[in-house]
Structure 1
């Protein structure tokens, strides 16, 4: 959604398809687990859990934003219809039973679920949620990602059932519903109330908002419908949760070590000193190096030859090494949020690899000729491009950007580096359109969730921020969507290969993002799991 565009970055870093990887993006039992010392500690009630986010999420409406931090904060206040565990198993959520038959999904709701304002959560509420997201005029970035396009829903409040029908429910419809937050009646009636508030069935209520500073949540009494029947009476759940906005990773690391935070998600040089402190760690493999191009009409990267030249000019293996401080691994799919619906390799055999001379030849053939100053130009217009990257990835991404900028300059490109935070990058991608190359990750757990980001309507009417028009991909994706579950994976991976081969998306680095904990332990599965947090007695 990440879009998370990527989770540590939405997440969406990840735009968020609104989409994370231990099995392969974020965790159960931290995917890394607690240290033996932490596991043996007693739990305590009434405590406050504080964690970091790197940018203010802005509008908190969970169905109107692709920002990964909106999705993360929303997990405290909202529940999905079904849950999904680290192994990809679908579990009860607000729905206790479900059936997928043809182009229909029928869900039976749990009885006794209430909203944060005390009103009952009904089947009619579910149908209204689905209708709002499905209505194109609302421009929900979740449409086509977590909910099939053309969805219609009917409710039977007496039976407590909802039936959703779509022209095509897609390969992984339940995986999508596991990521789709449900809003309660008051919020459905007044969407403006959701901008700086939450009206949901989740385990916490949003009780305080200080923009660009912190968001405070308070535990609900009487919540009994969490994963596997968990309730808020569970020993060790924090009474309050504070999400503090801390753009600087070193500051976040210092606060964690000093006790100012209970959890911090970090990459970069600060990781080593946190590892040395023997803290609880939840590990989350994540696609952190992913290159996108602005292919809008009139932009140089609309030409495949330019995209391929830019890609071949840089040594992607070296970029990955610099970005991840040597810890990275080559991506194999465009999905990165655990649990992955499809394992395999849609990247390795089709990604254009390093060949600077070939890159120069491609630009020459495309008419971008080097002038006396070394800068290439075409019809009197210089090849001037901007590289936008997310500063939340720390010094590693800055160093990698410096290396890429140096190489592209040698290629004859007049390149301008634009370090930005998550909000600024999302604003450019989905708003102004003022960008050429972007290093962001779009987080998804299943390949069908990527479709709206790589095809279809462009901003402001859609989420295809790169203005990608790849007919071969669209045809292959449509064929894959007719298949269900694991039977569709080969077809989906072949579709993804069309995007990578045509240099529409260039994945080049996976890394293991670590969320460190002090005084608490937790799980991280596509984001921090609120009901998994346990406060430890000092």
Structure 2
């Protein structure tokens, strides 16, 4: 049995930063006392159309949600799990039962207390939301319910779920009030969310602005935070600025203070700019890459998937279309993710080898350069969602050219976020540009669950293994198996650069590089 009492359970190193201070510390904080007051001007590229932390999936909105809700645990930037709304916890021998002691004195914005019973109701509700909670419900796979005894709540699972402790830290599993649970999902999306976080929704105008106001009486952040009371900021004002180059110009000219989603094509404009700090941290989870569809279409043939992987010149992709801070992917998982396995030897370009594989699969060169089989061209679509991944279009266009060199015709298929995720879920695609973030090797199952029974078995073994070292060994086997079967064609290490003006002090990022704004104060 594992117990944590006002301490940490060490998992493994997660995302770290190369800009803006040391990981897990208040980035860029100077000598002197923090100053209360002021409004942080925060830019996001687009509106997801929902602000409920349990329902969102785009990274800026995950970050907004983090300011509104607290979770049972907190995973810091070093990957350590700290107590938060839970003061301690125990895990049974086979990781099927997790008992949390709920911290005393915590209240929601409406004044009602946080109890073990309301925590149970939150988890029951999220487990029933299904696809409506795209980040929360996968964490609760196998959840069979919770039991309450005094100020403790025990979450039970029908199968080993070693990753659940880490999952209990994510914003999607943040705790909300009973009044919030009683509202419709649409009402919650519109901003009627009452959490325990340091900020509350004051106004949400879709496709225009979000205003978060400081909540008075906040006194229960993770113990590692310097600020143990109310947030310093009076408010946070979110502006939607679709054009990344315009947003960079705005932060350089002091029109906004914080940019969460700097696109790859704009990163070089802002790195090392005076008056601006850039957090260049690598994202945990998977690397950016092209997910393949092994269920139908041309990509159902392993030889075609292998040919696509061999046709890709990753060095050219990064050098020609990405930024100076980007690097080629050395495997499926991020180098900063627990359980990362270096699979660089499986990611070498081999145009001749790609052609030979396609020959073996029966795809012969056609008169126009596109291979054919049974009179049909080897034509595939590369799906990507817009606007978030629109900046990757130059990279995708270069991939088109590289695939054309081996006789594969690739068409780009931009889709909405909702369309793309639904098509991935139903295997209605050929290739899909994407990535998944979670500071745990189980992210493989979050993305590739259902791809292959053998891979599912390996990931089940990861979930059943309580020992971190052994768990990572099994995760490495799973990564190699997934790469041998080319369920992902990794392209580049997923970095998520964020920038803030030098007046913004005390920024702290968690393992997924989500900022905690309760620590932030404005020096001017």
Instruction: Evaluate the alpha carbon distance shift between residue 373 and residue 270 of structure 1 in structure 2; reply closer, same or farther with a 3 A threshold.
Output: closer
Alpha-carbon distance in 2 for matches of 1:323, 1:123: 50
Answer yes or no: is the 8 Å Cα contact 2:48–2:58 preserved in 1: yes
Instruction: Evaluate the alpha carbon distance shift between residue 368 and residue 353 of structure 1 in structure 2; reply closer, same or farther with a 3 A threshold.
Output: same
Alpha-carbon distance in 1 for matches of 2:16, 2:91: 26
Q: Which string of whole-angstrom CA distances, capped at 9 and with x for unpartnered residues, describes residues 392-439 of structure 1?
A: 6789733322221112222222221245675664465458x6542222
Larger mean CA deviation between 315-324 and 216-225 belongs to 315-324
In the TM superposition, what are the counterparts of 1:398-477 in structure 2 within 5 Å? 398-419=393-414, 425-426=420-421, 428-430=423-425, 435-456=429-450, 468=451, 470-477=452-459
Query: Shift of the alpha carbon at 1:472?
Result: 2.4
Instruction: Evaluate the alpha carbon distance shift between residue 191 and residue 337 of structure 1 in structure 2; reply closer, same or farther with a 3 A threshold.
Output: farther
What is the match of residue 500 of structure 1? 483
Instruction: Evaluate the alpha carbon distance shift between residue 171 and residue 78 of structure 1 in structure 2; reply closer, same or farther with a 3 A threshold.
Output: same
Alpha-carbon distance in 1 for matches of 2:154, 2:329: 38
Query: Shift of the alpha carbon at 1:441?
Result: 0.9
What is the match of residue 83 of structure 1? 74
What is the match of residue 290 of structure 2? 291
What is the match of residue 50 of structure 1? 41
Alpha-carbon distance in 2 for matches of 1:88, 1:422: 29
Answer yes or no: is the 8 Å Cα contact 2:55–2:189 preserved in 1: no
Alpha-carbon distance in 2 for matches of 1:421, 1:524: 28
Matched, 1:219 2:214: yes
Q: Count how many residue pairs are aligned between Structure 1 and Structure 2.
A: 498
In the TM superposition, what are the counterparts of 1:146-157 in structure 2 within 5 Å? 146-156=139-149
What is the match of residue 491 of structure 1? 474
Matched, 1:166 2:166: no
Instruction: Evaluate the alpha carbon distance shift between residue 186 and residue 29 of structure 1 in structure 2; reply closer, same or farther with a 3 A threshold.
Output: farther
Classify the secondary structure of the residue corresponding to 1:513: coil
Query: Shift of the alpha carbon at 1:176?
Result: 0.9
Which residue, 366, 381, 384 being the options, matches 1:371?
366
What is the match of residue 463 of structure 2? 481
Instruction: Evaluate the alpha carbon distance shift between residue 169 and residue 177 of structure 1 in structure 2; reply closer, same or farther with a 3 A threshold.
Output: farther
Instruction: Evaluate the alpha carbon distance shift between residue 32 and residue 201 of structure 1 in structure 2; reply closer, same or farther with a 3 A threshold.
Output: closer
Query: Shift of the alpha carbon at 1:247?
Result: 2.3
Give the alignment's TM-score, normalised by structure 1. 0.83
Alpha-carbon distance in 2 for matches of 1:86, 1:229: 11
Alpha-carbon distance in 1 for matches of 2:174, 2:335: 17
Answer yes or no: is the 8 Å Cα contact 1:147–1:173 preserved in 2: yes
Which residue, 198, 206, 211 being the options, matches 2:201?
206
In the TM superposition, what are the counterparts of 1:126-137 in structure 2 within 5 Å? 126-135=119-128
Classify the secondary structure of the residue corresponding to 1:496: helix
What is the match of residue 524 of structure 1? 509
Alpha-carbon distance in 1 for matches of 2:287, 2:137: 23
Classify the secondary structure of the residue corresponding to 1:452: helix
Q: Which string of whole-angstrom CA distances, capped at 9 and with x for unpartnered residues, describes residues 178-213 of structure 1?
A: 112222211212233212122211111111112122
* Gap regions ≥5 residues in structure 2: 1-12
What is the match of residue 5 of structure 2? none
Which residue, 345, 353, 357 being the options, matches 2:341?
345
What is the match of residue 301 of structure 1? 299
Instruction: Evaluate the alpha carbon distance shift between residue 472 and residue 369 of structure 1 in structure 2; reply closer, same or farther with a 3 A threshold.
Output: same
Answer yes or no: is the 8 Å Cα contact 2:225–2:519 preserved in 1: no
Instruction: Evaluate the alpha carbon distance shift between residue 531 and residue 61 of structure 1 in structure 2; reply closer, same or farther with a 3 A threshold.
Output: closer
Query: Shift of the alpha carbon at 1:352?
Result: 4.5
Classify the secondary structure of the residue corresponding to 1:369: coil
In the TM superposition, what are the counterparts of 1:33-48 in structure 2 within 5 Å? 34-35=27-28, 39-40=30-31, 43-48=34-39
Classify the secondary structure of the residue corresponding to 1:151: strand
Q: Which string of whole-angstrom CA distances, capped at 9 and with x for unpartnered residues, describes residues 30-51 of structure 1?
A: 569745xx62466432211122
Alpha-carbon distance in 2 for matches of 1:337, 1:202: 31
Query: Shift of the alpha carbon at 1:110?
Result: 1.0
Q: Which string of whole-angstrom CA distances, capped at 9 and with x for unpartnered residues, describes residues 11-68 of structure 1?
A: xxxxxxxxx9533899985569745xx6246643221112222221223333344333
* Gap regions ≥5 residues in structure 1: 1-19, 457-467
Query: Shift of the alpha carbon at 1:86?
Result: 1.9
Classify the secondary structure of the residue corresponding to 2:143: coil
Alpha-carbon distance in 2 for matches of 1:268, 1:139: 29
Answer yes or no: is the 8 Å Cα contact 2:126–2:137 preserved in 1: no
Alpha-carbon distance in 1 for matches of 2:24, 2:227: 23
What is the match of residue 537 of structure 1? 523
Classify the secondary structure of the residue corresponding to 1:407: helix
Answer yes or no: is the 8 Å Cα contact 1:172–1:448 preserved in 2: yes
Alpha-carbon distance in 2 for matches of 1:437, 1:314: 13
Query: Shift of the alpha carbon at 1:485?
Result: 4.2
Alpha-carbon distance in 2 for matches of 1:66, 1:485: 30
Classify the secondary structure of the residue corresponding to 2:52: coil
Answer yes or no: is the 8 Å Cα contact 1:100–1:106 preserved in 2: yes
Answer yes or no: is the 8 Å Cα contact 1:205–1:219 preserved in 2: yes
Alpha-carbon distance in 2 for matches of 1:491, 1:401: 33
Q: Which string of whole-angstrom CA distances, capped at 9 and with x for unpartnered residues, describes residues 311-356 of structure 1?
A: 1112123223334334333444544496x333x425234x342111
Which residue, 278, 281, 292 being the options, matches 1:281?
278
Instruction: Evaluate the alpha carbon distance shift between residue 239 and residue 203 of structure 1 in structure 2; reply closer, same or farther with a 3 A threshold.
Output: same
Classify the secondary structure of the residue corresponding to 1:39: coil
